[in-house]
Amino acid sequence: MNDEARAEVPFDWWEFLIRWSGEWADAQDFDGLDGPDEELVASRWLGFPAASDTDLAALEERVGHRLPPSLRAFLQVSNGWRNAGPFVYHLGGSRDVRPHLDGRGLGAVFAEYLDEDASPQDRLRAGMWERALQLEVESDSVLVLIDPLDVDGDGEWAVYEYAHWLAAPPERYPSFRHYMTDRYRDFHRMAADDAANGDAPPFVNDTTRALDEAVEEARLTALGGAYERAEAVLAEACAFGRPRAVRLLEQLAAFACGGFARRAADALAADPVYASDLLPLAAAVHAGEHQGPPWELLARCTTQEARAAAQEALRAAEEGSYRFTAAGPLGRAAEGARDLARWGRWNEAWRVLVAALPHWRPLGPDHLAPMGLLADPVLAPLITPERGRLLLGVPRGSQAGAARETLHVPSSAGDDPVGLSWLADEVPDQVFRSYRVVFVADRDPAGLPARIGHSGRDDNGGGGDGDREGAVSGGLHPPMSRWDAEQRLRQPRWGRTSADRALVAVGQAAPGWSFAFDGDPAPFDEQRFLSPAAAASNGTRAVVIWSSCASPGRYAALFHLSIGAGGEEVCAFSVTGGDAEPQWSGEVPDWLDLDGFPQTPEDWRGGGGRDYPDGRLPGERLALAVLERALGLTLPRSALLHGPLHTFVTRSWTRPPAPGEAALAFGWYHADRPAPGQERA
């Protein structure tokens, strides 16, 4: 039960302080005690005699306020307190509480951080330093202040604890009771750590036993799918330093929030019971840090076999070769989901994976979910925080019950948008300001390099540059994230060629269709543009789309569509953001119903002239919707943004320069990767 849940229950200060004192006494190492602490241990009491009504009346008269309820109730039980946390040695009683008066000028320091947008609450807190009452008598440079003007609906005054050596604002507590219960948690947390490190006797008492029982119940609750209820219980136990609660909560957080994988993995990665699932994740986290220090986990491996397993896990993580495995239906589902995911079918892959989750079995009592999924370079990107929370809501392990037979996964739960229209949306992590894509009526994306791939020769004259590291001549690169593909495989242009080859991600666009997508194209060269529609459509059909956002003073917005069939380009359409009319050439084939496709300048440019708020032609969304409806085409947003997907390099999207025609060639390279023929300085 947290502090908010207890608010409606009268707080028993006597029981609370007696319990704290007794547990503190039992946690002491008698060999290290000095005289005063020996007396406290013997008396099993950290407090003082209660304040009298006369004492309280005198205090209230001195400070000019009636005391808040929880501070008054505390003083009526104990007129002060010792060992109130690791840095506050003595909280004063009724005769010790006094105005702070801000002798250090902290109010002026914190007032400097206020700006015109500061809230009334911020301004109230900035003025707290001069009017607050000081509660601590002895501490390690820590101030404990209570503010008579920071009052809640119950008449409680806020307490602030400030340690200048933390270089942080003061910590605020809603009331004196909240402050004391938090210090009690601090005591428990430190006592548990000392006991675990062998610096103090075993720390076991009625409170720890009750917390550990609650943790076990929360574990079963989490396995049953009610993870949010389990989180609340585990968070309370974590605040008391219960080590098992920390391990379990971090596993939930790794799925529900993202970004907690390191802590979730490190605690159990070296444990042989859990290593098969947690060790790959710990290795993946470490490998992802690139420039991090030597892997600390290796030092915790107690056998040669464990160390070898850790080194192998790190090698697999660095190479991206780890594959999550599991026994039974979940293992088979992971294989199927991986094959779907590598072709961009993330929505389907996710549903296959989560539908098999009820069959997962924990490796031990501290295991809440298949953590190895977060280490699999193909499957991990499927599990967004939203989907991670959906995964945690699935009953599994001993609590799966009927879910193994009846689990229903809603088709829209955590799914990417279907279709093409999202390309024209304002997406928070959208990086495709411009894009080009080839759709081919062939269900096997592996055949795309044979149709439109770069052969290794310079297709615009001159010598060939080849691909960057990891290239597969005439085929596909292994799946990798968009970032890795950009860094490792982007075609260099050293001024030797004017070819416009694209590094494209490939996948399945719809039943019977494949795609090759470039989210960072070169500027559209209207004079030399050579659509891949003809080459892509050899023996089938193909659709090519190129969209460019306007770049003020440089490029006009553009939308291009070309259609290929049987190895020939049969029709093409282009429109720009200038004054030119939309241009059609050829005949639209019977198999492509473009009813509703925007045709006129007004359809494309709207009523805003040449000013487009997002740089896109207003008609683009409608054009994409028509193509989506006509052919059932779709592109996987998350897979294209984050990968991993297979990639390859296309042949040039521009024709060679005509005799006497000038063509500008330019290039870029990383500072740590010199151009061919250049030596590193």
Domain assignment of residue 379, yes or no: yes
Q: Which of 90, 97, 93 lies closest to 63, judged by CA?
A: 97
Write the DSSP string, 83-138.
--SSSEEEE--TTT-EE-TTTT-HHHHHHTT--TT--HHHHHHHTHHHHPEE-EEE
Q: What is the pLDDT of residue 412?
A: 65
Q: What is the pLDDT of residue 471?
A: 46
Owner of token pair 């799918």: 225
Domain end position, chosen among 168, 196, 224: 196
How many folded domains does the chain comprise?
3
pLDDT band at 10 (very low <50, low <70, confident <90, very high): confident
Q: What is the pLDDT of residue 30?
A: 72
Q: What is the pLDDT of residue 674?
A: 44
Owner of token pair 């897979």: 639
Q: What is the pLDDT of residue 36?
A: 74
159 with 246, same domain: the answer is no
Domain assignment of residue 679, yes or no: no
Domain assignment of residue 674, yes or no: no
Between CA 335 and CA 325 the distance in angstroms is: 8
Cβ atoms within 10 Å, residue 438: 31
Rg (CA), the chain: 33
What does pTM read for this prediction? 0.83
Domain assignment of residue 660, yes or no: no
pLDDT band at 681 (very low <50, low <70, confident <90, very high): very low
Average pLDDT over residues 295-309: 85
> From edge to edge, which strands make up the β-sheet containing 98-99?
98-99, 133-134, 142-151, 157-163, 171-173
183 with 214, same domain: the answer is no
Between CA 669 and CA 656 the distance in angstroms is: 23
For residue range 56-73, what is the model confidence (pLDDT) as tens digits? 999 999 999 999 999 999
Query: Residue length, the chain?
Result: 681
Selection from 143-147, 258-262, 480-484 with the highest mean pLDDT:
143-147
For residue range 514-543, what is the model confidence (pLDDT) as tens digits? 999 999 898 999 889 999 999 999 999 999
Q: What is the pLDDT of residue 487?
A: 75
426 with 307, same domain: the answer is no
Between CA 589 and CA 199 the distance in angstroms is: 81
| Geometric angle at alpha carbon 213, from 210 and 217, rounded to 5° | 135
Q: What is the pLDDT of residue 117?
A: 85
272 with 135, same domain: the answer is no
167 with 277, same domain: the answer is no
Between CA 449 and CA 647 the distance in angstroms is: 9
565 with 470, same domain: the answer is yes
For residue range 552-578, what is the model confidence (pLDDT) as tens digits? 666 788 999 999 999 999 999 999 987
pLDDT band at 424 (very low <50, low <70, confident <90, very high): confident
pLDDT band at 658 (very low <50, low <70, confident <90, very high): confident
Between CA 240 and CA 51 the distance in angstroms is: 30
Q: What is the pLDDT of residue 507?
A: 97
- Domain with 240, as residue range(s), is 206-406
**How far is the CA of 131 from the CAs of 170, 193, 279, 519, in angstroms?**
15, 38, 54, 59
433 with 402, same domain: the answer is no
For residue range 571-629, what is the model confidence (pLDDT) as tens digits? 999 999 876 789 999 999 999 999 999 999 888 877 655 556 567 888 999 999 999 99
Q: Which of 572, 571, 576 lies closest to 604, judged by CA?
A: 576
Domain assignment of residue 525, yes or no: yes
What is the average pLDDT score of the chain?
87
More confident residue, 470 or 545: 545
Q: Could you say which DSSP state residue 654 is in?
A: B
Between CA 411 and CA 390 the distance in angstroms is: 12
| Geometric angle at alpha carbon 424, from 420 and 430, rounded to 5° | 100
266 with 155, same domain: the answer is no
Between CA 358 and CA 404 the distance in angstroms is: 5
Q: Kindly state the tokens that stand for 348.
A: 């389907």
Q: What is the pLDDT of residue 474?
A: 52
Domain assignment of residue 676, yes or no: no
Q: What is the pLDDT of residue 557?
A: 87
579 with 629, same domain: the answer is yes
Residue 428, preceding bond cis, omega within 30 degrees?
no
Q: What is the CATH number of the domain that holds 38?
A: 3.40.1580.10
For residue range 106-125, what is the model confidence (pLDDT) as tens digits? 998 888 888 888 888 888 88
Window from 77-81, 116-120, 664-668 with minimum mean pLDDT? 664-668
Window from 6-15, 209-218, 422-431 with minimum mean pLDDT? 422-431
263 with 398, same domain: the answer is yes
Domain end position, chosen among 377, 406, 435: 406
Q: What is the pLDDT of residue 630?
A: 96
Strand partners, 159: 146, 173
668 pLDDT above the threshold of 70: no
368 with 387, same domain: the answer is yes
For residue range 164-183, what is the model confidence (pLDDT) as tens digits? 888 888 999 999 999 999 99
Q: Is residue 509 classed exposed, middle or buried when 0-12, 13-18 and 19+ CB atoms within 10 A define those classes? A: buried
Domain assignment of residue 416, yes or no: no
> From edge to edge, which strands make up the β-sheet containing 435-440?
477-480, 645-649, 503-510, 513-518, 435-440, 541-548, 558-565, 568-576, 583-586
Q: What is the pLDDT of residue 393?
A: 94
Residue type present at position 25: A
237 with 259, same domain: the answer is yes
Owner of token pair 């790794």: 254
Between CA 489 and CA 520 the distance in angstroms is: 13
290 pLDDT above the threshold of 90: no
Average pLDDT over residues 648-657: 92
Domain end position, chosen among 138, 168, 196: 196
Domain assignment of residue 411, yes or no: no
